Amino acid sequence: MNRYAAITAVLLSTTALPVLAQSGSGFSISLNGDQVSGDPVLRRKVEKADEQLQKADVRVQYDGLVTTPRLDLQITGSDAGYAPGQTVTLQSEMNYPGFVTRGEVLLIERRVRGGPRVLSRHDVPPNGAVSITVPEGENIVAVHRVYDARGRYDETAPLTISTGDERGLEDGVEDGSSALVRRGIPVFGGAVTVSGSSVAPGASVQTLGETVRPDPSGRFVIQRILPPGDHAVSVRTVGAGPTVDIVRDIEVPRSELFYTAHIDLTHGYRDSDLDGSGTYTRGRIAGYFKGRYANGVEVTGQIDTGEGDLDEIFEGLDERDPRTTFLRIDPDDLYPTYGDDSTLFDDTPTSGKFYLRVQKDNNYVVWGDWRADLQGTNLLRNDRTLYGGRLHLESKDTTAHGDPNWRVEAYGAQPDALPQRDVFRGTGGSVYFLSRQDISIGTETMLVQVRDGTTGRVIETRTLVEGRDYTINYIQGIVTLRAPLQSSTGSNGIVITDPGGAADVNLVAQYEYTPDSGDVDAFAYGGRGEVWATEQLRFGATIQSEETGSGRQDAYGADLLYRMNEETFVHLEYARSDGPGFGYQVSTDGGLVFDPIAAAGGDGEAVRIEGRAALTDLGLGVDGTISGYWETRDAGFSSLDYTTTADETLWGLALDAQVTQRLTLGAYYDSYEQDGGRLDREGGVEADYIVNDRVSLAFGIENLERRGISGSGDGTRTDAAVRLTYSPRENLSWHVFAQNTLERSGTLESNDRYGAGVSVAWDNGWSVEGELSDGDLGEGGRILVRNDKGEDGNSYIGYDLDPTHEVIGMTMSETGRSRGRYIFGGERPVSDTVTVFGENSYDRFGRYQTLTSAYGVTYEPTDRLSYLTAFEVGQIRDRVNGDFDRYALSLGVQYHSEGWNGKARLEYRDEDGSRSGSTRDSQTWLLAGSGSYKIDENQRLVFSAQVSRTEGNSGIAPDSDYTDISIGYAYRPVNNERLNLLFRYRYLDDQYGQQLDNSDTLGPVQRSHVFSVDAEYDLNEQWSLGAKVGARLAESAVDSDSDYTRNDAVLGVLNARWHVVKNWDALFEVRALELYDAGTTEIGGLAAIYRHVGDHLKIGVGYNLTNFSDDLTDLTYDDRGAFINIVAKF
């Protein structure tokens, strides 16, 4: 059987539309630069503009429907951090200013007690800048918001002012960065890109309403999403070099459609009836559609049923396709290159055979891959990446705060990977090892979470942005933060209750990972609805359900929000869960050792009330806030953030009031009770008085009651403290404090304490911040020395001594007394081409000592070539439970030029040692590389390689070897298309065995070489000759322990295609197949004739005289017989 086979390669590439005709000038149509119709006067105008653009090496391009909104906030000038009193300049960056009417920057103080507080708002025009004097406060961040005409807004992730913007972005250069985390503005239209590569040094480019400064090499690129309609795009260079002033007219169409489809159906009769049925019907349907209609509806769709029996190709259309675990398009079925320089852009992310997204404004329905992203509730948060269906509807009308009047979200999904949640206590460093490797790309959600160290209450959650806040190595499972993460928030008040800090700071990593084997048989559904009954009152409801092999987890809840403004609100939540719950992993040493927290199975309820009010909103004549919370959780309640093993109740109040310009008063009370006798209550009052511009005094008194808290005695205690702060100049401040226990009872220790601290910064980038103290609970201290020189690098060294520090799962008596943790590291450009990075964290916890090290070197000898080297080390020295070592090495290289493009990465990971009697020894090598070479305009060469070697009992992949190497060549003449040639070679050494049909049993192992050459030559307009030679040199076995058997074959095909008349085609083919191990040679022929019906359909009949096909992987040998083939292409 030789059915008509078609491979459709689609390149989506739209270029700038021609200059619009002026009134009375007619029109001009040109193909490949030659005018085929139109007004010659207009043609000369177009050619003149094109010549000017070409001389200036400037390109104006309309990019069509593929539009991705970007919004960012950047610090210009020095990248170093800014202290209170200093002036920082913040730059707005976005690519859709045409949809925005105004913008603003919010400065927010992230406090532990009382929650975040908005300090100030500053107007900033889209893509404009604003200079702000940093106000007094702790942990100040900046958030950028932009609004449309309806009041809807988009928002960026918080940018920390004190640590600065460490991404190394150049001022005034469009770099495509984005920190967009909340989208409320519907953006539609087309993307217009203006780019250039030879702008004179010192010159700038004015275009699309912006002034762009090229990079040092003279390159620039700027993209804007423009609404439908006509737009005059001017490009002007100013400054050094020749002046360019050009205007191109671009039309962004109101409606635009693109689609391609391929339908192949074959009905035939087999002379050799091996399966008992002489006839068969097979087919495949594949297609892609993208369009926007004049009414604003946008549709994106894709389908690929795969080839199979006609009554089976639609089965499982809505189910996850296991073939997409690695690639949407199987490279085994394609040549590596077709010589047309096409690129692949995945506009339809899906783990199945089908994708559809229909959207208008902010309303959409989608089937494919997406992030759940259920927000608005703290008890039932969900941001997993899933596959299935999702519906989002919201009203056009919005509240005064920019929220839609109502919103509905619903989903049903088949998770194709397993979820994992790792919780890292901040180490003072920036490198963290995930508990899993082989992370599913793009599924991670990284959070910084502040929790009460005693009660576990979530005080604050901040989402990190990849590229700006962290980078991740998906193969190694290593997360590197842009800035070190401290273990606690430091003292939150005058009285120091715990020398180690007021609250824990955790890095929470939630992601999906691919298990080594087995099927992920799960189903999940859920949804959320919100409605604003008034401008201030919102009702919400959430439901979630997930069914896995361990059981079914159900949860539902309702919530109410009353909000006057950002500072004054009340939020009430109720939730209930039933099922096995969610476990997670906890690490206090950056991921060297994890302590599993088991899921809390059962059912339980949770209620949470949180409120805050600005004192001015309550009619009081002073600035400040009052806040409170109340939470109760039953044993058995569980969510992604909570695992409740016993009934517990938490509540608290906090007051912060600036009575006068000099006097600030505060009060607080927090209570935690858990069944089983655990109790923690803490309350106090504080006063802060500014004596003069340099001196301030603070006083506090606190009462503490604790019972059943680990590491603490039972009883009550009353402490009083006083603090003196002296600031002789803007960048220098030091303080001393003393604390005394006035009264105590029970076994709770006294808490007398005294100490001193300093904070100083110099203009040369050096800064020192630290505090040392001693008292009844032991010595404590924290010091951090930084040298931040912006683009010239940074370095830091720190020491942290926490007398209350513990290793998870181990008591102080088991480890000995902590002697502190040392952190030192930095990043520095050695030259214009070399940048080095290093960090070491050494924890001397008695007999239990850990070392975590990370080193990296980036070498860019030219604009075209760059090298990357990274080395991570983790060590544990434990005389009782055993030593453990982890080493991870990454080597990378990337090169790009006009003809060559290539990249490669080598990964090595070694784990050696034991933990608690369990041996953990493994070594893994991974190599991935790809490249392409443009030999000339007619020839292309591409190659790729994937190699892995794993030994041991705990690695990134199962204990096995895997090699996949591919080389492709294409000869596609530009000026003479009569001869076309494709070549492919692939080597596959699979000693693991691929998973078959989602079963737990692995398939056979194999080693094979596959060669294939296809050539076609057009004799004239009627006759074409074709040839194909394929060879397979292979051996396979049932498993790696069985004997291999040879399976070599060579296939040769010669054919002739005759285009008889306009609507008729004929095919004549001769085939030869030689099976070396069987000692047989098969020779036969095939003939077919096709009739074209219209422009999109053709019908053919034919007969295959051979019992084999031209597919070397088809081992059935039952293809002799007649067939009817119908092919439709659109």
pLDDT band at 24 (very low <50, low <70, confident <90, very high): very low
pLDDT band at 169 (very low <50, low <70, confident <90, very high): low
The answer to whether residue 477 scores a pLDDT higher than 70 is yes
pLDDT band at 354 (very low <50, low <70, confident <90, very high): confident
Indicate the DSSP class of residue 791.
Answer: G
What pLDDT score was predicted for residue 922? 74
What pLDDT score was predicted for residue 875? 73
What pLDDT score was predicted for residue 237? 81
- The count of C-alpha atoms lying within 13 angstroms of the C-alpha of 76, restricted to the half-sphere facing its C-beta, is 16
- Mean of the pLDDT values across residues 913-919? 61
- Mean of the pLDDT values across residues 126-143? 86
Q: By the 8 A CB rule, do 630 and 571 touch?
A: no
What pLDDT score was predicted for residue 174? 65
Q: By the 8 A CB rule, do 649 and 675 touch?
A: no
Q: By the 8 A CB rule, do 1124 and 1100 touch?
A: yes
The answer to whether residue 873 scores a pLDDT higher than 50 is yes
Tokens of 453: 């160290």
Q: pLDDT tens across 789-827, in order?
A: 766 777 788 888 877 666 555 555 555 566 777 888 877
Q: Which of 1030, 1067, 1085, 1033 is nearest to 1052 (CA)?
A: 1030
Q: pLDDT tens across 633-645, in order?
A: 999 998 888 888 8
- Mean of the pLDDT values across residues 202-219? 80
Domain boundaries, the chain: 13-146+155-253, 256-292+297-360
Q: pLDDT tens across 665-693, in order?
A: 999 999 999 988 889 999 999 999 999 98
The answer to whether residue 480 scores a pLDDT higher than 70 is yes
- Mean of the pLDDT values across residues 405-431? 83
Measure the CA–CA gap between 634 and 645, rounded to whole angstroms: 8
The answer to whether residue 696 scores a pLDDT higher than 90 is yes
In our burial notation (b when 16+ CB lie closer than 10 A, e otherwise), range 777-816 reads bbbbbbbbebbbbbeebbbbebbbbbbbbbbeebebeebe
Q: pLDDT tens across 540-583, in order?
A: 999 999 876 667 889 999 999 999 988 899 999 999 999 888 88
What pLDDT score was predicted for residue 576? 95
Pick the residue with more confidence: 11 or 1076? Answer: 1076
Pairing of strands 794-801, 220-226: unpaired
State the SS3 of 447-511: EEEEECCCCCCEEEEEECCECCCEEEECCCCEEEECCCCCCECCCCCCCCCCCCCCCEEEEEEEE
Measure the CA–CA gap between 681 and 931, rounded to whole angstroms: 63
Q: How far is CA 522 from CA 321, 419, 514, 552, in A?
A: 14, 11, 14, 9
The answer to whether residue 749 scores a pLDDT higher than 70 is yes
Q: By the 8 A CB rule, do 449 and 508 touch?
A: yes
End-to-end CA distance of the chain: 25
State the SS3 of 191-227: EEEEEECCCCCCCEEEECCEEECCCCCCCEEEEEEEC
pLDDT band at 256 (very low <50, low <70, confident <90, very high): confident
Q: Is 541 exposed, middle or buried (0-12, 13-18, 19+ CB in 10 A)?
A: middle
Q: 1027 forms bridges with which residues in the sheet?
A: 1015, 1054
Q: Which of 282, 203, 273, 268 is nearest to 235 (CA)?
A: 203
Measure the CA–CA gap between 1002 and 487, rounded to whole angstroms: 44
The answer to whether residue 345 scores a pLDDT higher than 60 is yes
The answer to whether residue 956 scores a pLDDT higher than 50 is no
Q: Give the rounded percent of residues in the chain with a pLDDT score beyond 70.
A: 80
Measure the CA–CA gap between 920 and 221, rounded to whole angstroms: 50
**Backbone φ and ψ of 774, nearest 5°:** -145, 155
Q: How far is CA 273 from the centre of its chain?
A: 52
Q: What global pTM score does this model have?
A: 0.73
Q: How far is CA 43 from CA 30, 33, 137, in A?
A: 9, 10, 63
Pick the residue with more confidence: 700 or 40? Answer: 700
What pLDDT score was predicted for residue 170? 63
Look-up of token digits 């991935």: 928
The answer to whether residue 122 scores a pLDDT higher than 90 is yes
Measure the CA–CA gap between 172 and 917, rounded to whole angstroms: 57
The answer to whether residue 32 scores a pLDDT higher than 50 is no
Pick the residue with more confidence: 705 or 1046? Answer: 705
pLDDT band at 405 (very low <50, low <70, confident <90, very high): very high
Pairing of strands 1023-1037, 1005-1018: antiparallel
CA angle 670, 674, 676 (to 5 degrees): 145
pLDDT band at 406 (very low <50, low <70, confident <90, very high): very high
pLDDT band at 227 (very low <50, low <70, confident <90, very high): confident
Q: By the 8 A CB rule, do 78 and 164 touch?
A: yes
Please tell me the least confidently modeled range out of 302-306, 334-338, 582-586. 334-338
What pLDDT score was predicted for residue 754? 94
pLDDT band at 713 (very low <50, low <70, confident <90, very high): confident
Measure the CA–CA gap between 384 and 417, rounded to whole angstroms: 10
In our burial notation (b when 16+ CB lie closer than 10 A, e otherwise), range 737-749 reads bebebeebeeebb
In our burial notation (b when 16+ CB lie closer than 10 A, e otherwise), range 168-203 reads ebeebebeebbbbebebbbbbbbbbbbbbeebeeeb
What pLDDT score was predicted for residue 1080? 79
The answer to whether residue 54 scores a pLDDT higher than 50 is yes
Measure the CA–CA gap between 832 and 66, rounded to whole angstroms: 36
What pLDDT score was predicted for residue 863? 73
Look-up of token digits 């970007």: 70
Measure the CA–CA gap between 57 and 816, rounded to whole angstroms: 68
Measure the CA–CA gap between 585 and 591, rounded to whole angstroms: 9
What pLDDT score was predicted for residue 571? 96
Q: pLDDT tens across 507-532, in order?
A: 999 887 766 555 556 788 999 999 99
For 852, the 3-state DSSP assignment is strand
Look-up of token digits 């693991």: 992
Rg (CA), the chain: 34
pLDDT band at 999 (very low <50, low <70, confident <90, very high): very low
**Which residues have a Cβ under 8 Å from the Cβ of 710 and sit 6 or more positions away?**
none
Pairing of strands 190-196, 623-633: unpaired
Q: Which amino acid is at 1026?
A: G
Tokens of 218: 């003279």
Q: Which of 101, 108, 171 is nearest to 135 (CA)?
A: 108
The answer to whether residue 860 scores a pLDDT higher than 70 is yes
**Backbone φ and ψ of 1062, nearest 5°:** -55, -45
Indicate the DSSP class of residue 404.
Answer: B
The answer to whether residue 412 scores a pLDDT higher than 50 is yes
Pick the residue with more confidence: 685 or 244? Answer: 685
For 39, the 3-state DSSP assignment is coil
Tokens of 5: 């086979």
Measure the CA–CA gap between 481 and 431, rounded to whole angstroms: 6
The answer to whether residue 10 scores a pLDDT higher than 50 is no
- Mean of the pLDDT values across residues 191-195? 85
Q: pLDDT tens across 922-953, in order?
A: 777 878 788 888 888 888 888 888 887 877 75
Average pLDDT, rounded, for the chain: 79
Q: How far is CA 158 from CA 74, 125, 465, 484, 1125, in A?
A: 11, 19, 9, 16, 59
Highest-scoring range by mean pLDDT, 601-605, 847-851, 1037-1041: 601-605
Tokens of 70: 């970007």
Q: 280 forms bridges with which residues in the sheet?
A: 268
- Mean of the pLDDT values across residues 1016-1038? 87
pLDDT band at 877 (very low <50, low <70, confident <90, very high): low
Q: pLDDT tens across 1053-1087, in order?
A: 999 999 877 788 898 989 888 887 777 788 888 88
Tokens of 490: 């430091």
pLDDT band at 333 (very low <50, low <70, confident <90, very high): very low
